[in-house]
Amino acid sequence: MMAEAQEDKKANRKADAKPVSKKKDIYDVAQAQLDKAAKALGLDSEIHTILLQPKNELIINFPVRMDDNSYRLFKGYRVQHNNIMGPYKGGIRFHPEVHLNECKALASWMTWKCALMEIPFGGAKGGIKFDPSKHSRTEIERITRRFTHALGQNIGPNYDIPAPDMGTDSQIMVWMMDTFMNAGSQKDKNALRGVVTGKSITSGGSQGRDKATGQGLVHCIVEWARETNFSLDGSTFSVQGFGKVGSHAARILSRLGSTLVAVHDHTGAIASAEGLNPRRLAEYVQKNGGVKGYPGGHPIEKEQFFATECDIVIPAALENQITAETAPLLKCKLVVEGANGPTDLDGDEILASKGIDLLPDILANAGGVTVSYFEWLQNQRAEMWTLEEVDARLHTMMRRAYATVRHISQEKNVDNRTAAYMHALDRIQTVYRERGIFP
């Protein structure tokens, strides 16, 4: 048997729920965040209990033919956390460490994110446990299409709407859309375009979706700078993860006069006191798969990355990065969460004790799902908005959400994460109370 197939066998024998490594269980972090905000808000205990678990957890094992004609078994997930505010919404992740509890945590964060942003969607998340860098584009296409087919009617433009996340892009969304459309009736095909968002513009995507998360992040940073009387011009920042979120945020922030001084990703870490050029670094990462070896900077250790003195730190990679080990190293004024769940509870406490401000994921990275909502609206109405229109609407929604979070934080004397949760939970609780529990 081939080595890969052996590996599959081992991976498929492992428990689905827990992370393979010894890292903290991210679902514990998500639940603890919810508990804290529920207490601060005085959330009804029945509603709290409902929200602690997702509505649906789907695990699909499916075989796919490889380029050499062998077959491999893949494990895919879709967790639908809550849909009281609207259709389930959230990304699909392709990553070797995808597991059930990660999807459960990420799905719940989508519920809070959409409720906070006042977008009429619920929360979901899914993924396939594999490393896309080890597969050809044709294999990735077959993996994507087979998984979409297996999801069947568990997704749909008015039911559950996937989008890109780590390891997935607009091409993968277009394959998902095409597969889903082809399974529908001939007549209704075009009404199904909105089954996924984050598509290429030519196949029904929205202007500005690509940079939306990074753009939203920078809107939050600008609001924070205004509030704290901080000048972004002449400031410095570091980024962890130089994918879609990190690289767009870096490019947009550098246009405001801030200098990128250090970057860390899964290949290594680099730094330059004179500044790294975000556009050139993004091109390098595209070609080489990571920041390691970038000629415009010098290599540093992971610990040095966290210890790099700068004004703003943007974690935009995986969860569980700012923890009891790394948070003490940080020497910055602000952490802006581009990733979902990059800071655990110890991390939160340590940052607060050091007087470092934090803009939480469900606010800071909500630009992505906000423009996904715009894309879905455009699909529903067969409209095409200009980039200026998208940008202006995103700006308004990010500013409103930022102001709401800061208002609650000051009024109730809670941290920004708890304030963001409280607004989301308050809206969800109101709807539960109005509708009641069936029957």
Residues of the shown chain interacting with ligand GLU in the complex, contacts defined by CB under 6 A: 89-91, 163, 165, 197-198, 340, 365, 368-369, 372
Per DSSP, 156 falls in state B
Smallest gap from residue 366 Cβ to ligand GLU (A): 7
* Distance between CA atoms of residues 423 and 418, nearest Å: 9
| Nearest alpha carbon to residue 50 among 38, 58, 40 | 38
* Distance between CA atoms of residues 348 and 329, nearest Å: 13
Q: At what angle do helices 387-412 and 212-228 cross, to 10 degrees?
A: 50
Residue carrying structure tokens 């990065």: 321
> How crowded is residue 277: how many other Cβ atoms within 10 Å of its Cβ?
18
Catalytic pick from 125, 129, 199, 244?
125
Q: Which helix (H) or strand (E) holds 313?
A: strand 312-315
Smallest gap from residue 240 Cβ to ligand GLU (A): 16
Smallest gap from residue 314 Cβ to ligand GLU (A): 15
Q: What is the DSSP string of 349-367?
A: HHHHHTT-EEE-HHHHTTH
Specify whether 354 is catalytic.
no
Whether the CA torsion 159, 191, 163, 222 is positive or negative: it is: negative
Smallest gap from residue 2 Cβ to ligand GLU (A): 33
| Closer of 26 and 232 to ligand GLU (Cβ) | 26
Measured at the CA of 10, the angle between CA 7 and CA 14, to 5 degrees, comes to 135
Smallest gap from residue 170 Cβ to ligand GLU (A): 12
Task: Name every residue whose Cβ is closer than 8 Å to that of residue 185 and which is 6 or more positions away in sequence.
Answer: none
> How crowded is residue 68: how many other Cβ atoms within 10 Å of its Cβ?
8
| Closer of 72 and 209 to ligand GLU (Cβ) | 209
Smallest gap from residue 253 Cβ to ligand GLU (A): 19
| Closer of 198 and 342 to ligand GLU (Cβ) | 198
Q: Which tokens is 377 given?
A: 């609206």
Smallest gap from residue 367 Cβ to ligand GLU (A): 9
Q: Which helix (H) or strand (E) holds 108?
A: helix 100-117
| Closer of 90 and 214 to ligand GLU (Cβ) | 90
DSSP alpha helix (H) spans, 264-344: 278-288, 302-307
| Nearest alpha carbon to residue 86 among 403, 360, 372, 396 | 372
| Closer of 47 and 177 to ligand GLU (Cβ) | 177
In the bound state, the residue with its beta carbon closest to ligand GLU is 91
| Nearest alpha carbon to residue 341 among 102, 16, 168, 37 | 102
Q: Which tokens is 433 given?
A: 């109370």
> How crowded is residue 36: how many other Cβ atoms within 10 Å of its Cβ?
18
Q: Which helix (H) or strand (E) holds 403?
A: helix 387-412
Residues labelled as active-site residues? 125
